[in-house]
Amino acid sequence: MAYFVHRISNRALRLTLALFSDYAAEGRENIPADGPLIVVANHQSNTDPPILAASLRRDTRFLAKDSIFRRATPVGRWFLRAYGAYPLRRGEMDLSALRWAMAELKRPRATLAIFPEGTRNPGAMKKAHSGIVTLAARVGVPILPVGIEGVEGMRSAARVFKPKGTIRVRIGRPFRLNGAGKRSRRETEAAASEIMGRVAELLPQSYRGYYEHAANGPFLFTTTIEPVEARPVETPALPGAENR
């Protein structure tokens, strides 16, 4: 059921985006075809999660602040979970959410989207939480940076039914967190800043905010995953061909 809710909702959203807005998703060629994936993005509007999912075209799950679940009706909570959201308690180490995320990322084509800023920041980016580093270090899967532009005026989630304006979703090249083992608090903060810097790099300068300088590198705690070059297919020689 969850798969169909997610798929139908995303198809409907792509239709409304095409009808009512100037929408484009750039860099889809950077999305890995297989394997689990963590997606990190800036957070400007309640419409960010569905627009992100519709742009990625993968079975995307989310960590969402638990207050959304508390305010929702029973039907609303059912839809949130069916769509792939799981409640996250902000301001503390939520072990339940961490265990859920780690379990999700064991699926072969799992896609877990996280907004490390933790709350909506219309316009310029604000400082993010460092929990993304803890999760990425534990699971060791690729991280895909995404910059979302043009949705800061769409404060209500209901705007997905009639989105307006110029909306751009820019998908960067995947990367990995370097090294393993325990990090100091300073190293964790630096790694989180670098991860968000890769998101800021995809956005206009006016959107970068706290990560204006981090967007310019250098990137010391993360490494870009280079695309695998296609090798020419060798056609086996027919028996006796060498004698012709």
Q: How confident is the model at residue 160 (pLDDT cuts 50, 70, 90)?
A: confident
Q: How confident is the model at residue 196 (pLDDT cuts 50, 70, 90)?
A: very high
- CB of 87 closer than 8 Å to CB of 66: yes
- CB of 174 closer than 8 Å to CB of 37: yes
Can you give the pLDDT at residue 1?
Answer: 63
- Give pLDDT tens digits for 67-117: 888 888 899 899 989 888 998 887 667 889 989 999 999 988 899 999 999
- Torsion angles phi and psi, residue 223, rounded to 5: -130, 130
Termini Cα distance of the chain? 61
- CB of 188 closer than 8 Å to CB of 133: yes
- CB of 180 closer than 8 Å to CB of 121: no
Can you give the pLDDT at residue 236?
Answer: 44
**95-99, 171-175, 239-243: the lowest-pLDDT one:** 239-243
Can you give the pLDDT at residue 228?
Answer: 56
Domain residue ranges in the chain: 23-58+94-152+170-227
